[in-house]
Amino acid sequence: MNKRLQSTFYIFMTCLAVFQYIINGDMMQCLANLGIAFIFDPFDSKIAWKDRKVWQKSVLIIHVGLVIVLFFAANMPDIFRGISDGWNGR
């Protein structure tokens, strides 16, 4: 896949994720779209990780970090409720 098309898909999926969260308030759809956006490397995917520029690495690491934070933010209420129910014998 060419670089321009990959960048376009990355931007589209990231914008769709923002739309899903802000307009629809659906954090799980936002999370799914951000995860899919990460598949489309917005930079040249032929360049090895160690040869990438620092700012490119930073963008990708922040993207992964955001997906991880959103995953836990979306699932923590259910996890705490499950722990509480298990602790109380429900």
Domain count of the chain? 1
Q: Please count the CA atoms within 13 angstroms of the CA of 73 that sit on its side-chain side.
A: 12
Mean pLDDT by 10 residues, the chain (90 residues): 85 92 88 89 84 91 90 78 72
- Please report the pLDDT score of residue 4 as a whole number: 85
- Please report the pLDDT score of residue 70 as a whole number: 85
Domain that holds residue 50: 3-87
Q: What CA–CA distances, in Å, run from 27 to 36, 41, 52, 70?
A: 14, 22, 31, 7
To the question of pTM greater than 0.75 for the whole model, the response is no
